Chains A and B, each alone.
Chain A
């Protein structure tokens, strides 16, 4: 009798392979990884300090070479010998305080990404718990899901603003606001998935051999809900980064002199005629990050959620 060999490959390994087969998704992933490396190692990638002002070097446009220093009257600044003085090299130019924009972008990314990750992690944990327990215990369901309904009927950004308005403008409160805003959707997605998993015969079988509720919920139901959680978290990251930038732009997120992408755009508004790069550069940073998360979210959904795969 010959042995039948079955090539075993885990579900996640298989999904990762499918993801890497998609060119666009691979590019998005690589860009994101590079971005995260630069942001985490920010001091290694810039000689400047994000908060250090240098008023002589204000509003220098982006360029590949060193730019001459210009005075407030628009005339070049000369040194004692009558020679034109040059500013330090600023690839993406400087802002109205002469701060290097590249430096502020990569330090600002720390805020966007860390607030985003923290908010999603927190919202996901609470939402997933709420969803799992609601699906398993009908009594919990009645209460928790009604609360979620009310939260759902509140447009997300309003809820975030209400929280920030009441608790005060700080990054911690913004994180809290965005995570609370993510809870109901995570709860609904997980609840729906868990409800259908719960109907399976193997759950009844495990129950009949005496497994405890918590064991069933976390070891047997939860792993089946991971795919939609991964998809939704990725998509949600894009929204979270957008929300942080929007709240900061409105002046109720990160506060100056902290460098944050939305705050940088807001600061650039007063100089949009003289130095449009102050607005364009942070905007492009937001767009690149959002694009990567959106592309990854789309592709992950196609791979992990077979019901939707045909549509895209």
Chain B
């Protein structure tokens, strides 16, 4: 077990290194001279050249990359070209909102998607199954930005049940709960549909296996067959799916944050793209990618813990 975790941690370090390389490489290749942008409009060529030298921009690529890595290890993500503030501070304020939104959406996705999938697998080809699979088909076909706007239009503007946007509190507080419901549905709806389809097929597969037939043959009650024998085994493949869909959730978070005016990391990144604030774009991408890798790692570890069939060594 420890060996497995150590191996995965090592792999993670390699992955993160690869990502820093992509991120830094793209910064290096990005159009525009950072020194010129930092120096401002009125700077002379000599000023810019001096700034270039002092920032080390004349150094070879790998020297600059090494310096960038060293900075990262000290928590230095660079300076925002727009506000001239350390990017780390800017991200630190916004990241909790993104985490909040992601947790809320994941809850929506799991609470709605998994039970629906299981029920429609048990009642296969029934009217309920038909309704659930059709809803899921729509769920994966509706763009979340559009769903978000429609939710605002109906539930915030017409009915006035929820605020139209913004996020100031965590999801477990009453205000926070009101703020997070619509964005979570907009963002989690699609993932809920994916979970529904996957848990349905996972459950169907398990229900067809020999040991379920044996359980039924020896007279186990249908309820016990479903919940004790089948459900547990259907759940295991779903856990990896939770991990891989976390990436989709992060990507969708950007859109949801934009639609609901949530001051999160995604919105920060999109604004940075608009004004060509490259260091901020790269840092946001880095934070997103590293959180994705971390979640995948945690999910993988949980997976081997709960499923004894997986061998840690291989």
Judged by a CB distance under 8 angstroms, whether A37 is at the interface is no
Interchain CA distance A154-B281 in the complex, whole Å: 15
Interchain CA distance A155-B266 in the complex, whole Å: 13
Judged by a CB distance under 8 angstroms, whether A102 is at the interface is no
Interchain CA distance A246-B204 in the complex, whole Å: 34
Chain A residues in 8 Å Cβ range of B22: 150, 154, 162
Partner pick for A272 among B149, B205, B250, B276, CB 8 A cutoff: B149
Whether the Cβ atoms of B255 and A287 lie closer than 8 Å is no
Identify the closest chain A residue to B15 (Cβ): A153
Interchain CA distance A203-B239 in the complex, whole Å: 37
Whether the Cβ atoms of B153 and A150 lie closer than 8 Å is no
Judged by a CB distance under 8 angstroms, whether B288 is at the interface is yes
A155-B15 in contact given A246-B145, A252-B270, A276-B153 (Cβ < 8 Å): no
Whether the Cβ atoms of A156 and B247 lie closer than 8 Å is yes
Identify the closest chain B residue to A249 (Cβ): B145
Partner pick for A153 among B140, B258, B289, CB 8 A cutoff: B289
Q: How far is the CB of B238 from chain A (nearest CB, A)?
A: 14
A290-B150 in contact given A157-B254, A164-B273 (Cβ < 8 Å): no
Chain A residues in 8 Å Cβ range of B26: 162-163, 166
Whether the Cβ atoms of A287 and B254 lie closer than 8 Å is no
A168-B141 in contact given A150-B19, A312-B201 (Cβ < 8 Å): no
Judged by a CB distance under 8 angstroms, whether A69 is at the interface is no
Partner pick for A161 among B149, B269, B292, CB 8 A cutoff: B269
Q: How far is the CB of A301 from chain B (nearest CB, A)?
A: 11
Interchain CA distance A272-B153 in the complex, whole Å: 8
Total interface residues in chain A, CB < 8 Å? 43
Whether the Cβ atoms of A162 and B143 lie closer than 8 Å is no
* Chain B 220-247 near chain A by CB (<8 Å), digits 1 or 0: 0000000000000000000000000001
Interchain CA distance A155-B15 in the complex, whole Å: 13
A250-B254 in contact given A162-B281, A310-B208 (Cβ < 8 Å): yes
Identify the closest chain A residue to B250 (Cβ): A155
Judged by a CB distance under 8 angstroms, whether A295 is at the interface is yes
Whether the Cβ atoms of B140 and A294 lie closer than 8 Å is yes
Chain B residues in 8 Å Cβ range of A150: 15, 18-19, 22
Judged by a CB distance under 8 angstroms, whether B127 is at the interface is no
Interchain CA distance A297-B153 in the complex, whole Å: 32
Interchain CA distance A165-B141 in the complex, whole Å: 26
Whether the Cβ atoms of B270 and A245 lie closer than 8 Å is no
Identify the closest chain B residue to A155 (Cβ): B247
Chain A residues in 8 Å Cβ range of B273: 161, 164-165, 252
User: Which residues of A216-250 have CB atoms within 8 Å of chain B's CB atoms?
Assistant: 238, 242, 245-246, 249-250
What are 21 sample pairs from A and B whose C-beta atoms fall under 8 A apart? A150-B18, A155-B251, A155-B288, A157-B254, A158-B251, A161-B254, A162-B282, A162-B285, A166-B31, A168-B31, A246-B144, A246-B255, A249-B145, A250-B255, A265-B145, A272-B149, A279-B149, A279-B153, A287-B138, A291-B137, A311-B201
Where the two chains meet, the residues of A that have a C-beta atom closer than 8 Å to any C-beta of B are 149-150, 153-158, 161-166, 168, 238, 242, 245-246, 249-252, 262, 265, 269, 272-273, 276, 279-280, 283, 286-287, 290-291, 294-295, 298, 308, 310-312
